[in-house]
Structure 1
Amino acid sequence: MISDPSNATPEQLLHAAENGVRDRRKAEVRQLELLLAWADLHSGDPQAEPDAVPVRFGGPRLISLGGDGTPEVADLALVEMAIARHEHVMATRGALADAFDLRHRLPQVWAGVREGRCELWVVRRVARMSRTLDRNQIRIVDTAVAAALDQAPSRILTIAEAKVIEADPVAHQGRIDKNQSQKGVWYPKPRPGSQVDDDSQAGVGTVFARLEEADALAHRQTVDDLAAALAEHADVPDGAEPLDMDHWRAEAFAMLADPAAVLAFCRSIEDPDQHDSDATRTTGDAELVVHLAQDPDGALGPLTRVEGLGPRLLDQVRDLLGRHTTITVQPVIDLHTGRSVNGYEHPTDVKHRTQLRTIGDVFPHATSLFTRQGRPPDHDHTVAYDKHGPPGQTGDHNDTPLARHHHRAKTHVPGYTVMQLGPDRWIWGSPHGLYRLVTTTGTSVITRAEYQLLEQDAIVLAGALAA
């Protein structure tokens, strides 16, 4: 422990911070373990006690808090534990429900979080997401999430979401049907005083809409196309900064209130030689990247993962595609193949394969996921490109996809090292001696000795590929 952080070295501060994360995670798990032990002490039926006050007169009773397969607990016993935890009894009930689910329904996840592999709040949310599943259905969630605990929270929750849907697609279809029966568009009226109380409300209106997903995507595509055209043909005064696309999307959205104005604008930018009767507005191409899984018998499973959207039922994908009159199915991309070129720039197909293979930023503990809506990653050469070096330096074997901020840190902060062990494995060293292994399953802490052993693998791999 550092008694005075102001006198510590950079290495001491980093290791103290890392140890602090480990200790905090253990302390949080310890709080749930204490809560579980308290619940175990009060798992007997209080109505079986001599002279018990009947439930109808307000006496204690057993209640179920967790999902299928979890034990019951005496309700009034939790009041005193809530006092000890400095919280309302309903917060204590919620924590115990999550703890019950973790211990009894998600045992592999519970074992992993007790080892300090993940933030407790993440797995508690997984417990709540999966509470409606029965004790058999939830096994698929337990296995998948336990294998992903070293990944960033956003990726763990994405996996959990997919597995909850996969475990009970009928229930998820029910959620879809319920939401689609509650569609609507709302134009809230400004409340008195909002024009001056909240500067962001002055002079603007707000619109909320709940649409079918296919309709929402089609609407977004139309707004994006119209916004791009408006921005391209806007008159920007000399020296003025061009307006951002958020502004032009707002202008396009407002313009849709007058279809005649939209049609007139579209005709005004068409080929002057084209007759008005032939002037039509067509939307741009939409690309869906869909990940499918096959059952052992070769049939497609009920669940898919759509890039930029997340897990979707196969029927939902059919609905998305059903809005297009022309559909082109591209060949399956084999992520096990590799390619290299002699130039500096990574080819488009290499970038595409890398992004599909890695899913997100490969900087240690990064959370960014690569989607069509987000900024595309920077494809950095793991081993710096040498214009006088051997051929084939650019390819799957030498591609480190990074978000821009992490790319800047790697490039401009002295001391970062990264080596690639294959198309989806990297080892990192930080300027002050922190070492990490990053794979498609997340980030793992490694020692300096482990880093040095893996470093030899990276050198051998680079030599083999350059040969």
Structure 2
Amino acid sequence: MIERLEAVPGTEVDDDLTAAGLLASIRSARTAEDAAAARQLDLAARWADLHPPESIHSAATFTSGRGIGMEVEEPIAGEGCPTVAEFCVAELGTVLGISTVSAKRLIGHALELRHRLPRLWTLVQSGRVAPWRARLVAEATIHATPSLTPEAAGWVDAQVAAVAGRIGPAQLDRLVAEAIKRHELAAYDPAADPEDGYLSVDPRHVTVHGEDVHFAGTVRIEAEVDLADALDVDRALVHGAELRKALGSTESLDVRRAQALGDLARTQTALDLHSQGRAATPSTQDGLPAAREVVLHAHFDARSVEDGDTVFGPTGRLEEGQRLLLLEQVRSWCGDSRTKVTVQPVIDLNAHLEAPGYEVPDRIREQIILRDTTCVFPFCTRPARGCDVDHVIEYDHDAEAEGRPQPGPTLTPNLGALCRFHHRLKTHTAWHYDVIGPGEFEWTSPHGHRYRRDPTGTTPLDPLVIPRPQRP
């Protein structure tokens, strides 16, 4: 049985279309999509033009890092592009329904294309190159190491434009590397193959993608190391996997290799701690201290039964990455003799906690972290545990001395989790928010756009107004 679906206005499709007609319609839709994306890039660049850095604003940058807890500032576009007031990015992001980081990336790509990759920009605006392809090139030239000068970026632009943007990631990497070599941005290695497009730029790194936690409680580790080191690691993993199999493990080879990598890390940590002669720490049966120092926050529903015991639900939430977690996984971690497990007291998220003064005590901070889970700015997903706890109504430090009631007391209904950027945004700009319920906030932007933020996410409160196209 075939049901007839009601078409969304403006997207009606003739039911009598042939296969060729359907393909033509799909192609037409893709062309319209690319044109809209190119227009969005142009508008993002114009938005940046309206917001140069002001006296109280810094230029917008990216905060990124190679590992958990390691952060560096990177420009949103390369040398020669205009800088942008950091706080203007948030309003663009919320209007588009994306995070501030994604809005920075959109503006950065637009400026990089317009100012440093002008040939590619022209091809995008004329519809000859898909915007997503051009943005891949912009991403590569913005974050190249070492940084590309305007001349080096222009050389990449010329090469990519010559093939109308049809270039794969590997070819793009080679072009960027050759641009670095041609413009002497890094020392040349005479031993390197002169026919190879790569330089003596050291590509070694180990990156732990700690913010992208799989529901199974795993993370990706990406590395590029010396060949000799890679062979040594591989031999160690082969040995570790075979040892686990000999001891009775029925896991797959891939799982045993992953476990062997963890064994390597824990063994080294334990040896280091043991040799340093630290003060007494919880030790295992072999006399070595507990080596696993990674902290994970898992939350499970619990209930008391008649005999006074506490029973946990089968599924919970891993705070890192906001992922589903199984109770059996936690039990397996607890079974590792080198894993230290701490159980925190149950916190009632609906209780109204209060403290005198401005400082937020740990018990209230933990309640806010668990209630909000992330920064409560529209579309922000930064985990609340790394955020500030903000007084929604500002705390008046002079109220008590002047005998006035405190307008912004330190109590649960007046607190919200804000990442450092959005905390500064709220403090220094016309953005403001109000509490409308437990863990529920209503934000208003400088241009009057309103957003509701609650535990389920962000909801725009303004009707979508699409301007009529102007006749030429």
Q: Shorter-normalised TM-score: what interval?
A: 0.3 to 0.5
Bigger proportion of residues as helix? 1
- Using the size of structure 1 for normalisation, the TM-score is 0.40
